[in-house]
Structure 1
Amino acid sequence: MSQDNKNSKIDYTLILIIIALAIISIFTLYTLNPYLIQKLGIVFYQKQIQWYIIGTVAIIVIMFFDYDRLRQVSWIFYGLGIIALTMLFFHFPPGIADSVNGAWGWFQIHGFGSLQPAEFMKVFLIIFLAHIIVAHNEKYPEHTLKMDFWLLAKIGMASIVPIFFLTQQPDLGGVLVLTAITVCMILVSGIKWRIILSIFGGLLITVVSIVIIYLTIPDQVNQFLIEKDLEHVGERFNAWLNPDENSQGDAYQLTRAMLAIGSGQLSGKGMSEFEVSYKIPEYQTDFIFTSIAEQFGFIGSSVVITIYFLLIYRLIHIALKCRDPFGSYMITGIIGMFAFQVFQNIGMSIQLLPITGLPLPFISYGGSSTLTYMLAIGIVLNIHYRLKTYMFDES
């Protein structure tokens, strides 16, 4: 016997975490304002406040609807996302579809600004995959080898379409995020572990083989990538492995970021002494972590990383408490999205990983990205608000 949990309410812990990240974002953009306004002529911290306000309104709207309704319209969201990516693929409509740094990933809307469909596609794919997994498990409760492969095929087909369009923009960071989301949701889909381990074992061997081949015959691999219009992948990989040799070229951002982070030392320069000494491109987006490390040093950086750990922990806690598979699957996809982006963004800033152009969730400036993250948190808050308990539960 089940009953609505009378103690179900808004998760204020999660809200406080998001508020903390929002304050860090706005404050960091404010300290960068003299440099950014001189270089780009835009007051980014004010625009970021606007996006947080819009995101808050979106969360309030989401809270009025039962999250289970998303199952009914999941294919609509997914379809709209694919249509938007298809339009960008054909550079349509002219004058609105736009490229930034050579990537056709934005719509420039007069009076509104830029819109990046790839960001919203992350949440749309999460919802759609959660629906696919739940519908499959409801129809085939017995997990046979054949049915597990069929579920894996459906997940793969749903994911490969947006991944293909993102490779054509090109948007390597977006491809990796969608892949991370897909992998996380496969892990909890109920597919037998021997299948999962076999597939990921094969993928691991493939990746290791590619790395060994690149290190052995880099010139031939780079030529192959150029012929396949994937030279940007080789350039970023080479800049990551040999930053000193490319400090004025492809590794310019990385070397400047490392210098900025190192200059912060233990406690940072502080606001009073902070000046943008290392003029890093995309300071307000991809490399905003370097500004935090430069101003507040190792201590400030550790605080930011700790807040992200608390965010992921809280999301895992809610996912484990949720008895509804659809809700749990969606939160799992959201965890994969946030965890990968945080790890990748900070990792690329300290040369742990290659540069992929991914923003730091909730802190980097970005209208589409910030709104996407707020929508994801709105879904989680909705799920938590409607949690149900069962008699004789331990908790």
Structure 2
Amino acid sequence: MLERKLVKNMDWTFIWLLAVVLFSSLLILKSASANVVAGQPYYFVKKQVLWIFIGFCAMAVTASFNYRYFLKLGNSIYFLNLIILVAVLLLGEESKGAQRWISLGPFEFQPSEFAKIAIVISFAAFLNRRQGNLNTLRDLIPCFLYIGIPMLLILKQPDLGTSLVFLAIMLGMLWAGGANPKIMIALVLVILFLVIIIFGILFVATDGFQKPPEELPIPLPLKPYQLMRLIIFVNPDMDPLGSGYHMIQSQVAIGSGGFLGKGVGNGSQVQGNFLPEHHTDFIFSVVGEELGFIGGSLVLLMFFLLINRMIKIAMESRDIFGTLIVIGITSMLCFHVMVNIGMTIGIMPVTGVPLPFMSYGGSGLLTNMVSMGLILGIALRKEQLTF
């Protein structure tokens, strides 16, 4: 249980910021999901309220544990994570061409969501043991392999969006762990170069992004639908009623919202169900259409304040292990926000990455709340206690 002497370190600012984000998400979800299930305008809101309650309980339980217990369990958490990810490939339920879910009776959960927390904790323990030994490329190769194995297992499902989250987590935690800045910059440049190469190959194979690729000059480790998402990102009008439909409708919704929006419940794209997945991956499009530029800016401000508080907690952590965990979670949250909002406004490809705390979904929300519990637990123990 939580020691009484820890209560004085309770970060109420962090808790209130999180509560504001969650309350706002319910207001947005109510409008976004009103017409998804006929005759049940509160269907998804009720389910999300239940998940928020479960999430707060999970956050409280997680915060009550001393995070340093996980330091010795890093390897066990890592290998258990790999076993579960392999089980998904062998036993998982297939939906929409992807094998990402495991069924437990009436419940389904997405292990790749919980794998994010597992990799943050285990990689933090891994880097904690390697402090002072992250100066050369040879030092970093084990780190790349450590992240690369679960990343490839998730890519195999296939789930490109979640696998890229692991890359963001690795970069953020290596930076916080004291990796050589020159190597980190070189690594980012290599990643950007590979992205340019991929788009260059697609440019040649599609006659300048004007037609679907018949044959790639160089094979790429991506599924056909993933390649089409990259092509449609550059030219959504190539398939306006198919692969490009989501992106086009999202931009129409956000663009039509203007400065102040059309008002809650008055978005024609949303309420007319022209915008697919508007209560999950494209919920920010609902904000843009119904609350306009002002509403979208307020959502970004809420995330900025929450992330800023998380960074403050990381800086005040009593040890590098706590700092690494908070930075890993912060990197995960930043990546989700950046990619999801970028996707809805057309500056990022459609990847299926949800908007944290706002998109409907039990596994994702529970994962985020447990991660917030880890951060709160680290904030509670920022000082060495004497009894």
Could you report, residue by residue, the CA deviation over 1:56-101 in whole angstroms, capped at 9, with x for unpaired residues?
11111122211111112222322222112101112x1xxxx21221
2:375 aligned partner: 380
C-alpha distance in structure 2 between counterparts of 1:174 and 1:191, whole Å: 24
Structure 2 gaps of 5+ residues are none
Q: Does 1:175 align with 2:163?
A: yes
Instruction: Tell me the SS of whatever aligns to 1:362.
Output: coil
Could you report, residue by residue, the CA deviation over 1:132-178 in whole angstroms, capped at 9, with x for unpaired residues?
011122xxx4x485xx4454122212211111111111101101111
Q: Does 1:153 align with 2:141?
A: yes
8 Å contact kept, 1:286–1:358: yes
8 Å contact kept, 1:8–1:386: no
Q: TM-score, normalised by structure 2?
A: 0.90
1:165 aligned partner: 153
Q: Structure 2 counterpart of 1:157, which letter?
A: L
Candidates 250, 257, 261, aligned match of 1:264: 257
8 Å contact kept, 1:132–1:154: no
1:84 aligned partner: 84
Distance 1:294 1:83, change over 3 A: same
8 Å contact kept, 1:342–1:360: yes
Q: Structure 2 counterpart of 1:89, which letter?
A: L
Instruction: Tell me the SS of whatever aligns to 2:340.
Output: helix
C-alpha distance in structure 2 between counterparts of 1:268 and 1:192, whole Å: 46
Could you report, residue by residue, the CA deviation over 1:186-210 in whole angstroms, capped at 9, with x for unpaired residues?
1222222233233333333332233
C-alpha distance in structure 2 between counterparts of 1:302 and 1:190, whole Å: 34
8 Å contact kept, 2:229–2:349: yes
1:204 aligned partner: 192
176-185 or 18-27, larger mean C-alpha shift = 18-27
C-alpha distance in structure 2 between counterparts of 1:201 and 1:348, whole Å: 22
Q: Structure 2 counterpart of 1:164, which letter?
A: L
Report how far residue 279 of structure 1 moved.
Answer: 2.2
8 Å contact kept, 1:222–1:231: no
213-222 or 252-261, larger mean C-alpha shift = 213-222
2:124 aligned partner: 130
1:64 aligned partner: 64
114-123 or 230-239, larger mean C-alpha shift = 230-239
8 Å contact kept, 2:250–2:344: yes
Candidates 351, 362, 365, aligned match of 1:367: 362
Report how far residue 236 of structure 1 moved.
Answer: 0.1
C-alpha distance in structure 2 between counterparts of 1:89 and 1:261, whole Å: 37
C-alpha distance in structure 2 between counterparts of 1:214 and 1:273, whole Å: 39
C-alpha distance in structure 1 between counterparts of 2:148 and 2:134, whole Å: 24
Q: Structure 2 counterpart of 1:114, which letter?
A: E
Report how far residue 226 of structure 1 moved.
Answer: 8.0
**Number of residue pairs aligned between Structure 1 and Structure 2:** 375
Q: Structure 1 counterpart of 2:233, which letter?
A: W
Q: Does 1:288 align with 2:283?
A: yes
8 Å contact kept, 1:59–1:377: yes
C-alpha distance in structure 2 between counterparts of 1:226 and 1:282, whole Å: 31
User: Residues 316-327 of structure 1 correspond to what in structure 2 (within 5 A)?
Assistant: 316-327=311-322
Distance 1:32 1:210, change over 3 A: closer
Report how far residue 7 of structure 1 moved.
Answer: 8.5
Distance 1:125 1:39, change over 3 A: farther
Q: Structure 2 counterpart of 1:23, which letter?
A: F
Could you report, residue by residue, the CA deviation over 1:319-370 in whole angstroms, capped at 9, with x for unpaired residues?
1122300000011101110001000000000001100000000000111100
Report how far residue 274 of structure 1 moved.
Answer: 4.2
Q: TM-score, normalised by structure 1?
A: 0.88
C-alpha distance in structure 2 between counterparts of 1:144 and 1:35, whole Å: 53
C-alpha distance in structure 2 between counterparts of 1:227 and 1:209, whole Å: 10
67-76 or 207-216, larger mean C-alpha shift = 207-216
C-alpha distance in structure 2 between counterparts of 1:54 and 1:280, whole Å: 30
Q: Percent identity?
A: 31
Instruction: Tell me the SS of whatever aligns to 1:114.
Output: strand
Candidates 241, 249, 252, aligned match of 2:245: 252
Report how far residue 247 of structure 1 moved.
Answer: 1.1
Q: Structure 2 counterpart of 1:128, which letter?
A: S
C-alpha distance in structure 2 between counterparts of 1:144 and 1:117, whole Å: 30
8 Å contact kept, 1:180–1:340: yes
Q: Does 1:218 align with 2:200?
A: no
8 Å contact kept, 2:31–2:265: no
C-alpha distance in structure 2 between counterparts of 1:250 and 1:349, whole Å: 14
Structure 1 gaps of 5+ residues are 391-395
